[in-house]
Amino acid sequence: MSSEPSSVSAAPLSHRVPDLGALELLLAVARHGSLGRAAREVGITQPAASSRIRSMERQLGVALVDRSPRGSRLTDAGALVTDWARRIVEAAEAFDAGAQALRGRRDSRLRVAASMTIAEYLLPGWLIALRGQRPDTAVSLLAGNSAAVAARLLGDEADLGFVEGLAVPAGLDGAVVAHDRLAVVTAPSHPWARRRAPLDPGELAGTPLILRERGSGTRQVLDSALAAHGGLAQPLLELASTTAVKAAAVSAAGPAVLSELAVAEELASRRLVEVPVAGVELRRDLRAVWPAGHRPTGPARDLLSLTRG
């Protein structure tokens, strides 16, 4: 028996995942229900579009589009691939917004510090909008917990910050730009996923949880909410990123508490289940912050206005 790995597992990711142009074409087919109209939208001929779809189908090993005289319709597999493609294209647009800014003129620079949830789930959209207004602004992003964001601003290492804690950190001014809610989540196999009654705050406080580190906005809000119920038990795991906490919860390591922004996709796909909690407030404000007495100007002012749009 050959010991060589299979060609699928050995091939680089770039050989196994269709390129962005093919994914954009598939999204256009989904929108128009017509290969011809999709081809015109992306600026290629219909034969070229048909060839690109066939090539993508061979690459993935599944049929994506049913073609007929009445038009082109996605197969069930094609509809699923289209959903994945949409996320990849949106992520590429966010990546391009940052890359475009970094390639811009260096005499127009914006240094942003943001807590992890805001940096991952809200800031990319704001930066795309800022690029439309200020294409020559070079943006640098420093991501960390809310305490680290405050330190960056106070140390003149950032022009504008975004935090998730209970209040504006000392030495800073701020404004609420969005609202968020913490959700208690667990894998579907956990006993809490089958509960019919909400959790009691005391039970939540007394259970070892997968948590963000101290200093994070998520941890601050949770500590405050459960202080009157005995305070948090020793964490089951204490991790420094939202992604790490989420991955541990999905793997059934234990229950976790995360922003609903961070777990929306996992809840929709049932990889995680939200566990209701009675008698405790887990909502929080998301704030833009800046050094006290120094109202944002220039690109920082423009980004701040976009967060309130």
CB contact burial 144-171 (16+ within 10 A = b; e otherwise): bbbbbbbbbbbeeebbbbbbbbeebbee
Kind of pairing between the strands at 109-115 and 160-163: parallel
pTM above 0.75, yes or no: no
Q: What pLDDT digit, counting tens, does each position of 241-260 carry? A: 888 999 999 999 999 999 99
Percent of the chain residues past pLDDT 90, beyond the cut: 57
Q: Are the CB atoms for 72 and 35 separated by under 8 Å?
A: yes
Please name the helix (run of DSSP H) or strand (run of DSSP E) that holds residue 10, with its range, or none.
Answer: helix 7-10
CATH topology of domain 104-309: D-Maltodextrin-Binding Protein; domain 2 (3.40.190)
Name, in order, each residue with C-beta under 8 angstroms of 105's C-beta and a sequence gap of 6 or more. 136, 138
Q: What pLDDT digit, counting tens, does each position of 225-236 carry? A: 999 999 999 999
- Same fold? 7-92, 104-309: no
Phi, psi of 74 (to 5 degrees): -70, 140
If one looks up domain 7-92 in CATH, what number appears? 1.10.10.10
Q: What is the mean pLDDT of residues 19-44?
A: 89
Please give the biggest Cα pair distance in the chain: 73
Residue 101 has a pLDDT of: 57
pLDDT band (50, 70, 90) for residue 189: very high
CB atoms closer than 10 angstroms to residue 273: 22
Q: 46 versus 4: which is more confidently predicted?
A: 46
Q: Are the CB atoms for 110 and 138 separated by under 8 Å?
A: yes
pLDDT band (50, 70, 90) for residue 7: very low
pLDDT at 1 over 60: no
pLDDT band (50, 70, 90) for residue 6: very low
CA dihedral angle for residue 1, residue 61, residue 18, residue 10, rounded to 10 degrees: -10
Long-range contacts of 84-87 (CB under 8 A, 24+ apart): 85/18, 85/23, 85/26, 85/27, 86/27
> Could you state, in order of their start, the residue ranges of all structural domains in the chain?
7-92, 104-309
CA distance 174 to 15: 47
Listing DSSP states for 285-302 in one string gives: EEEEEEETT----HHHHH
Q: What is the mean pLDDT of residues 156-169?
A: 91
